[in-house]
Amino acid sequence: MSAPTAASTSERTLTLKEVGPAKRASRPDEVVVAVSPAFSDPFTKTIVDVPHAEVIRQILAGIEEQGVHARVIKVWDTADLAAVAHTGARLSGSGISIGLLSRGTAMIHQRDLPRLSNLELFPQSPLLDAEVFRRIGSNAAQYAKGESPAPVPTRNDQMARPRWQAKAALLHLKEFECIVAGRKPVEVEPVISRA
């Protein structure tokens, strides 16, 4: 069987089209994906160059494959992962959310948890690839269905520190620059197009 077609490797781009203020939904079969202020604009890829288009596409695919509905919101007034994720969880009909920072760091959160807690945390952004994002989406959807998914295995690399610690700090600072204090979260429609 041959390799995938060339089309699949061509770059996709992501636009987050604002549709209005993010509201609390009541449908129990949804997962909210909450992204940080700089996600998709001005940043377009994670710390290890996974395009944001692919991050969102894989997370949404993971959710859809489980037969669960997804809603994407952008959080403007904080770039703290736990706060971003918890904002999403409080708006989510199922109470389950995925928080995402521009550099790729991710977290699955639940409405009733304290803000600083989480269901699953993926702190090592350099180790997150498309496959992991798919599994994060899939697990979040399974939590929403009341199932018990096996946690996505987290990886660890002692040498991530010398390679990525400073870049992560830099991306973090840049993301902070994009915070709009006092601006409420906005519901967005992810538009993914192929170049």
Binding site for other proteins (CB under 8 A): 1-5, 7-8, 61, 64-67, 79, 110, 112-115, 117-119, 134, 138, 143, 146-148, 150, 158-159, 161-170, 172-173, 176
Instruction: Return the residue matching tokens 């979040």.
Output: 140
Angle at 90 between CA 86 and CA 92, to 5 degrees: 110
Q: How far is the CB of 167 from other proteins (least distance, A)?
A: 5
Q: How far is the CB of 67 from other proteins (least distance, A)?
A: 6
Which residue, 8 or 26, has its beta carbon nearer to other proteins?
Answer: 8
- The Cα 113–Cα 87 span in angstroms is 12
Question: What is the per-residue DSSP string for 164-191?
Answer: HHHHHHHHHHHHHHT--TTPPPEEEEEE
Which residue, 20 or 67, has its beta carbon nearer to other proteins?
Answer: 67
Which residue, 20 or 102, has its beta carbon nearer to other proteins?
Answer: 102
Q: What ranges in 76-151 are assigned the alpha helix state H?
A: 81-91, 130-144
Q: How far is the CB of 95 from other proteins (least distance, A)?
A: 9
Which residue, 74 or 137, has its beta carbon nearer to other proteins?
Answer: 137
DSSP state of 152: P
- The Cα 72–Cα 112 span in angstroms is 20
Which residue, 173 or 180, has its beta carbon nearer to other proteins?
Answer: 173
- Secondary structure of 20-76 in the HEC alphabet? EECCCCCCCCEEEEEECCCCCCCCCECCCCCEHHHHHHHHHHHHHHCCCEEEEEECC
Q: How far is the CB of 96 from other proteins (least distance, A)?
A: 10
Q: How far is the CB of 78 from other proteins (least distance, A)?
A: 11
